[in-house]
Structures are given as C-alpha cells and as structure tokens.
Structure 1
Amino acid sequence: MRLFATGLLLLMAGSFIALRRLAVLHPAWDPVLGYAIAFTEAAMVGGLADWFAVTALFRRPLGLPIPHTAIIPVNKDRIADSMATFLRDNFLTPQVVARRLNGFNLAASAGAFLADPRRDEQSRLRAGAAGLFADILESLDPDQMGGMVKAGLRKQLSRIDLAPLLGQILANAIADKRHLPVLASVLRKIGEAIEANEPMIREMIHQRANAIMRWTGLDERLANGVLDGAYRLLAEVIVQPDHPLRAKIDEALGRLADDLRHDPAMRTKVERIKTELIENPAMAAWLDAMWERAREALLRAVRNPDKALSGSLGDSISQLGLALGEDRRLQALVNRFARRTLVGVASRYGSEIVRLVSETVKRWDAKTVSDRIEGAVGRDLQFIRINGTLVGGLVGMAIHTVERWL
C-alpha cells in the first residue's frame, strides 16, 4: 500500500510535467489541458501533504528535525500510560467487568465447547493452548516447581481446621445413614480377621485354661463357644438394623462427631495428629510421588488432548457440557460464580495488569513501538495518502473551474 500511494504521487508528478510540456507545444489545447494540469498539480500538493502527515506520526520526514514530528516515538511513555489508563477505565474496573458479563452466558458457551470439543476451530484452539501449556510446564524446573506445589499443599493442609470438618462429615453421614455400608464392611473385616487367626485364638484360650479344663476337654468347647458367639454376634449386627449393639455404635459415633465439633481437647488432639502427619517423612515421600505422577499425567494429557478426551473421561466431560448447556439453574450458578470470580480478579489485580501493560510498552524502544503501531494501522494510513492525492486533485480542478468562470 505504501508503494501504491507513492507510485500514485509520482504518477501525478510525472503527469504534471508532461501536461505542462504539452501545453507549451500545443497552446490550442490549453482549455482542456488546464483542467488536467490543475488536477495533477493539486493532487501532488494533497499527496505530499498527507505523506508528510502520515510520516510525521512515526519518524522525521526525510530525517529533518522538524518540530512536532516523530510523534509516536517521542511520546512513547505518554502513549503507554494512556493505553494503560484506557485499559483500566474501559475493561478492568469491577463495575465494567460486572456490566460486560451481565448479559454473557459463560456457562452455556463452556457447555457447548465441552459437549463437542472436537470441532475444527475449537480443536485448533485447544491444541494451541495445550502446546503452550506443555512448553511452559516442561520449561519450569520440576524439583523447584514440585517444592512450591508441595509447600503450598502443606500450607493449605495446615490451615484447615480438621476436627470440625471431620465432625460435620461424620454427623451428616450418620443423619443420612451413609455410615451403615461402612459399618457393615468393618464388621465383615473383623469376622474375616477372626477367621484368619482362629488357630491363634484357640491356642490363647488353651494356654489360659487351667489343667482341669484341659484334662476334661472343656477348653476346646470354650474356644468353640467363644468363636461361634463372635461370629453369631457379628452376623446379627450386620443383618438386624435394630440390633442393640448397632444402636450403641451409632451413639458412640454421634458422641465422637459432637466432640470433634465442640470439644477443645479433641480438636487439639486432632490438630496434633494432623501436624505430625504433615511433618512425617512418609508424607513428604507420598507428596513427591503424587506430584510426579500428576505432572507426567498432565504432560501426557496436554501433549495429546484428543487422546486425553477419549474414553470415559471424554464421555464425562461431554455429559458435563450437555448439563451446562441445558440446565438453567446450573448455568445461573456457574455464571454467578464466574462473575464474582472475574470481578474479584479485576478488583484485586486490575492495577497490576495495567502496570504490566504500561511498563511493557515503556521498555520497548521507539522503533519497536513505531513499527508495531504502523504495522497494525499502516494500510489505512496509506489510504489516507491515496485519498489525499485524489481529493486534492478534484479540489484543484474545482478551483480551476471557478477561476475560469470568474
């Protein structure tokens, strides 16, 4: 476009010279050539004026130190601050973010993507984002990043008030009778443990029986009675919902849930156990292994997103997408959460983002700023030169017409 605009200006200059020579050689053609000469002469003036105006935005015309030229390089820092202020006032204030998100159904859009993530344009977007994330993940020091992750996990675990949380979970489980399958499973495991260690139990009873019981064989009958009674008791507790022992167990679990929530001594004991567990070397080794497995799985997933979205995981994601796309109540919940989150981000980090933009532009050298802005809007600026050449020519021809009539 710059070559085209410059070529048009040179064409007007060449035409002006040729027409002036032609007017000298053929004076009889002067009435007709006068319009053409006026057009080309004014077109040159208009083209040169707009060339100067466009060039003065980005550099010194012909390298001359003319005042108020090279406007963008000279005012680079002020432009950076203006861009940052514009971004803050129009995009990153909580009020603006809330207003712009008010009519946007983010949940429905996310649901459409999750329900059909293999559409061409979305596949390219996902592949690009996955590749970028994988490159960033691999460029980071695994040990340092793992240490940060583990330190963050430990910090979060240490902040959790575990006793009330466990107490509430246990109380809710008892209220909804979700503890019954667990209780039945524990009782079965106890029965299996007794059965697996039956010879040892019999031997213990034989050793503790006196000589008369062993001589008469009562110790064997006692062992059989103890084992049979234990098996029968466990079976009755498992089968009978109203068994007295089950009621005692429920009562004991209820007291434990209440102590976890309200007893300071119990809460202190749980916190001590939690602290010992977090500081245990076995916990550190487990966190190391968990982090490495998670990192490898994440890398495999982002390097091959199509494979990661296949199978049951892909089906689950598609079901989630369908639910987001169809369930109005779920959409309202997700959209409300997204709005609150983004408004909070704008409120807390808006000034940091604005400062990042401003400092980044200020660090660019003047040529970089000029080249980037000219690359973004340069085509339209060259149209200004073209229009200036043509409009200038038309204005010149109009002035020539008025001059001849007057």
Structure 2
Amino acid sequence: MTKPFRTLDDADVSGKRVLLRVDLNVPTENGRVTDKTRIERVAETIKEIADKGGKVILLAHFGRPKGGPDEANSLRPVAEAVAEVIGRPVGFVGDCIGEMAADAIGTMKNGDILLLENTRFDKGEEKNDPAYVEELAKLGDIYVNDAFSAAHRAHATTEGLAHKLPAHAGRAMQKELEALTLALGNPARPVAAIVGGAKVSTKLELLGNLVNKVDILIIGGGMANTFLFAEGKGVGKSLCEKELASTARSIVAAAEKAKCRILLPVDATVATELKAHAPAHVVDVDHVPENEMILDIGPKSVAAVADVLNQIKTLVWNGPFGAFETPPFDVATVAIAKAAASLTKQGKLTSVAGGGDTVAALNEAKVADDFTYVSAAGGAFLEWMEGKVLPGVEALRVK
C-alpha cells in the first residue's frame, strides 16, 4: 500500500541542510521553560536526522510578537531546553533569514543542530509571503514538518516551504497522521465519538461532521444540557445555550438521517454551586431542581457509556463530561477514561483523544499513556475532526 504522505523513510538527509519545522511554543517563566512536553515530542525526529548526518536547522514560532523582534518572544532560552531534552549541543542564531542565518548554517557540520530565531518576527511568516518563503528555502535542501499543532495554518514555515523543497513528515507528525487515519479516516467499526465541553456553539461544525462519520455520538459536558433542554427537559441553573435549542434539534435530525445514534445523559450530578467538594446529589435528568445545576453525568449515564465502549472498536474523544477540574464533578470523566484505557490495553479498542481539556482529564485519570494516541494539538486536532483540510498536512501529500 502506498503511503499518502512522504516521511523520513523517503528522505536521504546525509550531508543535507534540513529545515525542520517544530512546535517550540512552550510555556516559560523568567526565561526558563516550565513544560518540555512539546520539545520531547519532536526530540526523536531531531536526533534521527542528526544521527543520519543531516544538518538540523530548527524553525519555530513563539508567542504572538507584534510586528518585529522583541526580547520577550525570543527563542534563545528555548535552545537551552532543547539541548537538555536531546542531550546534545544546540546552536542559536538571532535571525531566521539573511546573512547571519546563512553564515551560521554555512559553518555547520553533519549532525549539528541549530535553532533559528522566532519565524514570526518576520511579517512574511503569517502572510505566507512568497519572498520570505524564497529566502527561507535558500537555507535548506530538504523540508521536514513535525509540527502538526500548527498544520491548520497556511504560513510560510508550515505550508509555503513544502512547495519549494522536497517535503516530508517528521516522526511526530507521522504518528499523528497515522492515529487520525485510524480514528476517522479509515476506522474499524463501530466507531463512537465523545464530544464534551461547555458549549455547543464552539463545536457546531464538529457535531455536524461527526454525525456522518460515526455510529454513536456521545454528548457530555455543558453542551449536553442544551440538548436536554431542546428535548423539553428542565435544566435548572445549569450552563445551557437555550438559544441553540433548534440547532440541537437539527443535529439530532441529521444524526437520525445518517443512522448515527446520539447518547445523552439519563441522570446527572447536581449542586447549587460549582465549587470543590460542594454538597452534590444525583437526579434523573427529568427532575433537575430549579435552583441547582448539572455539573457531571450520573452513575446510570456512566454505565450507559461504558456499555457503548464495550460494543465499539474505535473511540474518538474531545471534551470532558463534567466540570472535571472541580471534584466531585470529575467522577464520570475519570471513570470513563479508565474504562476506555482498560479496553485499549486489552487490544479491544482503538482510542484517540485530543484537545487541552481532554488531555488534562486523561492525565488526571492517569491513563493518557494507555490510550492508542493522545493529540497535544488543540486547534489542528479540532479542525481535523471537523473535516477541514489542514494546509500543512495537504502540502505533504504524495501527489
């Protein structure tokens, strides 16, 4: 079977200048990197290219600089963190095009690693300006994209360069694309999607796409309240987008037409206020007290989701079931995460999850490592689930 994307397996990097786009948009405090997860994800690709004798030239953006270089958004301190993670020296140059960058690259030996300054310091980056792309392309022989999290943007270093140089997916990008294809591209059926989170309004396109892709759509979080309200149920003081009731009904109608079953909560954990260890109790969704709010799904609903998990082959998950950051309203999300992880470990389920809150919830349940794949890419993961074309991915396709 031919692969749809070119990967490092198809590249001869020895002695070549490899422009490697990575995501180094890491959190920092007082000039120190506080979370190295994103660096750890691309370490494998950096080391592989260096070990094969390539000259690794790292391209990355950092923060949202306004119209030119500024110290606060410099990648200089990040170079040290990359060196720590990969256990090798990493050079740094204070520009991403021009003479300074060209001179630094000119002195590199095979296996050397160099980080160029924040690509967003040049206005040409976000505009995907052909002149800027041309300047960048002069610095390399091969282009490798390992930043799936930036793949939904058609910028110079995420999309433009792929049309100028031989383009390949790095290992982290490759894993992401393989996992996403497993989940919704060509999945083992039946497929279920869990969509949670606070609001229907932020996930309309997602829900619209999923009803045509999955066999069962499990709706949780605050958005489930809007669907319950649309069915005529009282939701008390719960978070609820009442103005979207007709939209919720049209999503249900589209699901029926597509023969996609929608699973909504049948019971809920309610309380008068959202705060840690607030007195809470379980009610059927037909009997939510007027002065209380739904803050998690209840045990019958958890059992219904667990029952679905036992029947399916593939699960895609985006968004928690309740206000999981505030105990005891994390109970359902943690229980379902553990059930999905257990089935995955037994080889009965392919589980792919993504989105910031979802990753945080799986980490809290201590099961992130047991899922088939957990995507750290927020916007790109969501746009991919919505069925949108990601420019940075399309540019890597084998034409």
TM-score tier after normalising by the smaller chain length = under 0.3
TM-score, length basis structure 2: 0.18
Which is higher, the Rg of structure 1 or of structure 2?
1
Q: Comparing both structures, which one devotes a greater share of its residues to strand? A: 2
